[in-house]
Amino acid sequence: MNQTTIAEISQYDQQEVLLKGWLYNKRSSGKIHFLQFRDGTGFIQGVVVKSEVPEELFEACKKLTQESSIEMIGLVQRDDRAPSGYEILVKAVKPVSIANEGYPISLKEHGTDFLMEHRHLWMRTPKQNAILRIRDEINLAIRNFFHDRGFTLVEPPIITPSSCEGTTELFELDYFGEKAYLSQTGQMYAEAAAMAFGKVYSFGPTFRAEKSKTRKHLNEFWMIEPEMAYVDFEGNLEVQQEMIQYIIEKVLQNKKTELKILQRDTTALENVKAPFPRITYTDAVKMLQEANFEFQWGDDFGAPHETYIAEQYDKPVFITHFPTKMKAFYMQPDPSNPEVVLGADLIAPEGYGEIIGGSERIHDLDFLLERIKEENLPQDIYEWYIDLRRYGTVPHSGFGLGLERTVAWICGIDHIRQTIPFARTLNRVYP
C-alpha cells in the first residue's frame, strides 16, 4: 500500500493508496457518503458507496464529524470535474480523533471578524490555505532570486535602539531599564552588512505602531530588504523589476491550483515583464491635477491617487524623484536637483498600492551629518551608522518589498490580513 498526498495523487491513477488527513466536510444520503477530505497539500473527495463497501464502514462514516482526523484507503480515479482532477473510491477509513461536535466554522458564510477570531481554524479552508501556499512560494522565490545572484542573507536585530523611518510609528519597550523599539526596518543594518559582503538582503518581521485601519496596513509585517554596494539609483530599479518578474513567473508556474481556487484572473499577472514604466513624482502630480484631483506638489499620495496613477499602466509603475522633504533622512538627493531624491516607490496594478520603497543612500560623511542635523535627529545613536561613511564609504542603494502587499496583489484578494498566518492589526492580537 502506497502512502501518498493529494498533491502527488496523479502518480497513482487506478491504484490503492493511503492518505492521512482530516474530514473537511461530509454530504450523505442513505446510499452514499461524499467525504471532503484534506491533507494539507490539497482537497479531494472520497466516495463511499453503500452497496460496494462492508456495512461497518458505511456505518462508521456516519459517525465522522467535521474536522475529524482520519486515515483513508481507497482507489484513485480520474475525475475531470474535481479541483485535484481525481477522486477516491473509499475502501477503508480509520478515525484518528473524532472531532467535537459544533466545529465553529461551518460552510455557510461567516463575517470576517468571526473568521479572524478563529484564524487558527480558518487557515484550514481552501481559500486561506491557497493564499498561504502562494505566500510560501513567493518567500522561496525571493530567497532563491537573491541567493542565485550572489546576495548574502544577513538578519538584522528586531530589538533596536533607534528609528530609521521616523519615530511616530515605533513600538517602544523597556530594555532592562533603557528604551528600545521593535524594528520598523532592517535597512541600516543591511547597509552595514553591504559594506562587509557587497550584496546582501534581510528578510524578517518589521513593526509599525501606526493606527491605520486600511486594507493595506498591518502592525507586524514581513519585509525583504536588499542592499547593494556600488549600485546606483538606476541599478536599484533594475534589480527590483527583475525580482518582481521572477516572483510572478514562479507563482504562475508552481501555484496553478491555488490561483484557480482563488479564481485569480492571471492575464494581468502574465503581463508583468520588465522593464516597468516610470514617472517622476512631479509628473505624477501633473497627471493628478489634469484629472481634477486636489493635489499640490509636496503632498503625499493617498490610496485614490496611487490607484489612479496605477490605472494608467498595465504593469507596476515606478514613481521616482519624490520631494526630499517627504522622505527619510538617508535618501540621496538628486545632484542635479536636490529638491528631490534618487528614490522610487513601486506601485502595483489593480489598486494594491505601494509594494516597494527604495533609494540610493547618502554616502558622503559631511552630507549625512548635515541631513541628520536638518532633521533634528540625535547624532549619538546613529554613530555606528555614520561610521559606515567614515570607513570606506561607497555609493550604495537598496529597497524594501512588503511581503504581504505583494501576496495580496498576486492572489488578487481584497485585504492584507488574509496574507499572513496570524495578522496583527489595530484591533487584533488574538489568536
Stretches 120-128, 332-340, 396-404, 421-429: which one binds ligand 4AD (CB under 6 A)? 396-404
Residue 355 CB, nearest approach to ligand 4AD (Å): 5
Residue 225 CB, nearest approach to Mg ion (Å): 12
Stretches 2-10, 33-41, 303-311, 394-402: which one binds ligand 4AD (CB under 6 A)? 394-402
Stretches 212-220, 279-287, 324-332, 356-364: which one binds Mg ion (CB under 5 A)? 356-364
Residue among 357, 358, 395, 398 that touches Mg ion (CB under 5 A) = 357
- Residue 165 makes contact with ligand 4AD by CB under 6 A: yes
- Residue 354 makes contact with ligand 4AD by CB under 6 A: yes
d(CA 89, CA 166): 60
Which of ligand 4AD, Mg ion, none has residue 224 at its interface (CB below 5 to 8 Å by kind)?
none
CA-based torsion, 200, 204, 208, 211: positive or negative: positive
Taking the least distance from each CB to Mg ion, the nearer of 349 and 357 is 357
Taking the least distance from each CB to Mg ion, the nearer of 226 and 357 is 357
Applying CB under 6 A, what is the total number of residues that bind ligand 4AD? 21
Residue by residue, DSSP assigns 321-387 as --BGGGS-TTBPEETTEEEEESEEEEEETTTTEEEEEEEEBP--HHHHHHHHHHTT--GGGGHHHHH
Taking the least distance from each CB to Mg ion, the nearer of 122 and 318 is 318
| CA distance readout (Å), 236 to 172, 186, 222, 361 | 32, 17, 20, 11
Residue 7 CB, nearest approach to ligand 4AD (Å): 30
Which of ligand 4AD, Mg ion, none has residue 418 at its interface (CB below 5 to 8 Å by kind)?
none
d(CA 186, CA 403): 14
Residue 221 CB, nearest approach to ligand 4AD (Å): 4
The grid cell for 76 is 484513485
Stretches 20-28, 77-85, 109-117, 399-407: which one binds ligand 4AD (CB under 6 A)? 399-407
Q: Strand order of the sheet with strand 178-182?
A: 159-160, 178-182, 172-175
d(CA 400, CA 223): 6
CA-based torsion, 84, 88, 92, 95: positive or negative: positive
Stretches 37-45, 234-242, 245-253, 348-356: which one binds ligand 4AD (CB under 6 A)? 348-356
Task: Please state the φ and ψ torsions of residue 101, each to the nearest 5 degrees.
Answer: -65, 155
d(CA 133, CA 156): 26
Residues forming a β-bridge with 425: 428
d(CA 200, CA 226): 6
CA-based torsion, 251, 257, 263, 268: positive or negative: positive
Applying CB under 5 A, what is the total number of residues that bind Mg ion? 1
Map residues 179-208 to x or -, x wherever contact with ligand 4AD holds by CB under 6 A. Answer: ------x-x--------------------x
d(CA 49, CA 30): 10
- Residue 395 makes contact with ligand 4AD by CB under 6 A: no
d(CA 259, CA 284): 33
Taking the least distance from each CB to Mg ion, the nearer of 25 and 280 is 280
Taking the least distance from each CB to Mg ion, the nearer of 116 and 328 is 328
Residue bearing cell 492572489: 411
Total Cβ atoms within 10 A of residue 112 = 12
Map residues 111-150 to x or -, x wherever contact with ligand 4AD holds by CB under 6 A. Answer: ----------------------------------------
Map residues 209-228 to x or -, x wherever contact with ligand 4AD holds by CB under 6 A. Answer: --------xx--x-x-x---
- In one letter, which amino acid is 16? E
Residue 11 CB, nearest approach to ligand 4AD (Å): 39
Nearest to 12 by CA among 84, 92, 60, 70: 84
Find the residue with minimal CB distance to ligand 4AD: 402
Residue among 357, 360, 371, 393 that touches ligand 4AD (CB under 6 A) = 357
Left if phi > 0, otherwise alpha if psi is -120 to 50, otherwise beta: which for 87? Answer: beta
Binding stretches for ligand 4AD (CB under 6 A): 164-165, 185, 187, 208, 217-218, 221, 223, 225, 354-358, 398-400, 402, 404-405
